[in-house]
Structure 1
């Protein structure tokens, strides 16, 4: 599905100033991806969809030369202020502003779900990776955020979350390349509905691919969401279905 990259960049740009405060999921998924990668020591890393540069800094600490790329100039500025990378590129994963075979590892943590065509994104990430290098990525799968969908169904008829690809579709998008993969569900817990909703807004994940503009919650909607939202032990749940992939480039 074609997505509005300008709107996505704007949503993440608005979140740049407080992104790290809400990015617990991104850190957990990134740590899991590191574990899947194992003990690798790439000379050059492209952090594709770098955000504020949290994992760019991790790779620099591992003595890699890091190129940080993001669709949002505000995110790149935040990464630059923290000296997260060696170089910064404003660009789109589906049209990378890099030549062929430039890096040893592409790292892309929870970014490719914002692409129009995952197969095109994967092809681009592999194009800039040297033979023998790897493309390591995480993305969301269908079934993510069931609590959000369940609660909103009791409030109105609109869709309030994006549709994501299935496991089979993600694997197919890798085009038959050598792929190691893993999936899991991570459930975050919040004291109230507003905290759960703020966590989505805080990481910029409020843009809908279908393009319907976000609106401010009314008190009535908030009360209805609170009643319908799945809870456990008095806490409000938000579950993410994640796919981890490591492609070996040949």
Structure 2
């Protein structure tokens, strides 16, 4: 795989995230229906032409391959923190795409080397959103653009209610924090939209499979559950059931950014 010769130094949190997503890689494409649905709306905003494209948080390479088909003359890079995801991507889509292990807050790319960044539901995993925006500003070429979806507080709130463990939710920055990070980075915010998307599942097992199956649950210490705790969680989730099924909410922020150079 065309990845760094030396292991990427990761913090403890990054290691846990990378392991979770690497474990999820074999099942990700089967269970990522919500992520795909959200990404389709982002896809519709792509510019007509691009020459150097980065899929930031590429996962198993689904969007990376589509970008390669959409921009057949462009150099395409798929970058992800999780080596298991990159291995899956390379095995499925081959070496015409450059697969790179990397951290969104310390991109292994040259200054002004990218003219389009596509990132669907990835940067919410980065603890320092300011560093991510600074890196995007650094690697985008003059006039370069970024199309990003990320998650806001309140995502998976039904899961937290069922388990009565709000601390298990993904801790994401709010929209004002993201916008402040953009402003401080020097990037130009062209457009932003907020939306709540709800997806529905037949039962709690399907809900948890959809979350675990895409790596979106990082194990916490002392997370062992008793049978009674599981029964109670199922009962709480059932109280939220709608005619469509058990709901799972994603609070999404879509960003259109541009280099200010």
TM norm structure 2: 0.87
Change (3 A) 1:214 1:182: farther
Change (3 A) 1:182 1:113: same
Pick aligned residue for 1:56 from 44, 47, 64? 64
Asked if 1:227 corresponds to 2:227, the answer is no
Asked if 1:66 corresponds to 2:66, the answer is no
Q: 1-side partners of 2:243 and 2:33: how far apart?
A: 21
Asked if 1:207 corresponds to 2:218, the answer is yes
Equivalent position of 2:28 in the other structure: 19
Q: 2-side partners of 1:182 and 1:98: how far apart?
A: 28
Q: How much has 1:216 moved relative to structure 2? A: 5.3
The count of aligned residue pairs is 242
* Kept in 2: contact 1:206–1:214 (CA 8 A): no
* Kept in 1: contact 2:46–2:147 (CA 8 A): no
Q: 2-side partners of 1:172 and 1:50: how far apart?
A: 25
Pick aligned residue for 2:91 from 58, 81, 90? 81
Q: How much has 1:220 moved relative to structure 2? A: 2.1
Q: Runs of 5+ in structure 2 lacking a partner?
A: 1-10
Equivalent position of 2:6 in the other structure: none
TM norm structure 1: 0.90
Equivalent position of 2:3 in the other structure: none
Deviation larger for 166-175 or 236-245? 166-175
Equivalent position of 2:128 in the other structure: 117
Q: How much has 1:87 moved relative to structure 2? A: 0.6
* Kept in 1: contact 2:160–2:166 (CA 8 A): no
Equivalent position of 1:4 in the other structure: 13
SS in 2 for 1:222: helix
Asked if 1:137 corresponds to 2:137, the answer is no
* Kept in 2: contact 1:200–1:206 (CA 8 A): yes
SS in 1 for 2:173: coil
Q: 1-side partners of 2:18 and 2:131: how far apart?
A: 19
Q: 1-side partners of 2:52 and 2:173: how far apart?
A: 30
Q: How much has 1:221 moved relative to structure 2? A: 2.3
* Kept in 1: contact 2:54–2:78 (CA 8 A): yes
Measured against aligned partners, the alpha-carbon deviations of 1:176-222 in whole angstroms (never above 9, x if no partner) come to: 632111111111111111110111100001116xxx23745543222
Equivalent position of 1:126 in the other structure: 137
Q: How much has 1:237 moved relative to structure 2? A: 0.8
Q: Runs of 5+ in structure 1 lacking a partner?
A: none
Change (3 A) 1:214 1:70: farther
Q: How much has 1:126 moved relative to structure 2? A: 2.1
